[in-house]
Amino acid sequence: MLDVPEHNRKAWDHLVDKGDQWTRCVDEKTIASARAGNWSIVLTNLKPVPRNWFPQSLVGERILCLASGGGQQGPVLAAAGASVTVFDNSAKQLDQDRHVALRDNLDITTELGDMCDLSRFAANTFDIIVHPVANLFVESVLPLWREAARVLKPGGTLLAGFANPVLFIFDLKQMEEGKLIVRHRVPYADQNDLCEEELQSLILADTAPLCHGHSLHDQIQGQLDAGFMLAGFYEDKAGDGVLREYIDTFIATRSIKIDPAMLSTQ
């Protein structure tokens, strides 16, 4: 049986070796600017996260960068004053964060593991979770939202990026050639919906993580069912490809963990 997390771990390790854009560490100038209060991060492809999605100051904030290795978001937030834990499935992605932490003397802890299993962390541990586009690499997002809610403090913030499932309904090879041919249903999974030849080609390509197109119901209602209240939303374009001419294919949400004490007073 195909072990999707293990395959994706190896694929991302190899993407680090290739220098993929999502594995390249921020430079020293970016860290210096963040220390001076001039910083931004992305959850999606291009648009920076609005600064009002964060507290005015990050000093003293405990932030979990969930499936967010690569030496990018975590180091910037640490330079801005937060105590950061970076959690990722790829050891080499975490090496990037450790490299920046050592280079720039940052407060960063790294943890290797599956984004859907945060059992090593106690309940109500973090003030903020930063989760860039990554849950397309897991088979179900519902455990992820439940775990995020568990480890966040009441009133804590979940900042999440994810793919619009329309991205997965087209034949990928045809789309790469500029043709939009509808082929797949949503929810989608490479290991279930590709033919055997296509799947084996991905498996043999050591820099091709297996992907999943989750329904918007699971992405958004899944957060609400886990105990979050939606407080912010925006869309973003893909970096390239024919589909970007027609629709934004990435989504970012800001959600607040509901505090039962607040509900009891209403």
Model pLDDT for residues 8-31, shown as the tens digit of each residue: 999 999 999 999 999 999 999 999
pLDDT at 8: 97
pLDDT at 241: 82
Q: Give the Cα separation of 107 and 111 in Å (integer).
A: 14
pLDDT in tens, 89-109: 999 999 999 999 999 999 999
Residue recorded with tokens 């599956």: 114
Residue 65 has pLDDT above 70, yes or no: yes
Share of the chain above pLDDT 90, in %: 90
Distance of CA 159 to the CA centre of its chain: 9
Residue 262 has pLDDT above 80, yes or no: no
Beta strand 83-88 with 62-66: parallel, antiparallel or unpaired?
parallel
- Average model confidence (pLDDT) across the chain: 95
User: The pTM is what?
Assistant: 0.95
Residue 186 has pLDDT above 90, yes or no: yes
Share of the chain above pLDDT 70, in %: 98
Residue 121 has pLDDT above 80, yes or no: yes
Residue 265 has pLDDT above 90, yes or no: no
pLDDT at 94: 98
Under 8 Å CB-to-CB from 252, ≥6 apart: which residues? 43, 44, 47, 49, 159, 160, 161, 232, 233, 234, 235, 236
Q: Give the Cα separation of 68 and 144 in Å (integer).
A: 14
The mean pLDDT of 243-253, rounded to a whole number, is 94
pLDDT at 239: 75
pLDDT band of 238, cuts 50, 70, 90: confident
Residue 261 has pLDDT above 90, yes or no: no
Residue-by-residue DSSP string for 88-127: ES-HHHHHHHHHHHHHHT--EEEEES-TT--TTSPTT-EE
pLDDT at 260: 74
Under 8 Å CB-to-CB from 50, ≥6 apart: which residues? 232, 234
Which residue would you say has higher pLDDT here, 242 or 94? 94
pLDDT at 111: 98
Q: Which two tokens stand for residue 169?
A: 């309904």
The mean pLDDT of 179-202, rounded to a whole number, is 95
Q: Give the Cα separation of 6 and 254 in Å (integer).
A: 30
Task: Kindly provide the b/e burial profile for residues 217-229, where b requires at least 16 CB atoms within 10 angstroms of the residue's own CB.
Answer: ebbbebbeebbbe
Q: Give the Cα separation of 100 and 145 in Å (integer).
A: 29
Which residue would you say has higher pLDDT here, 206 or 162? 162
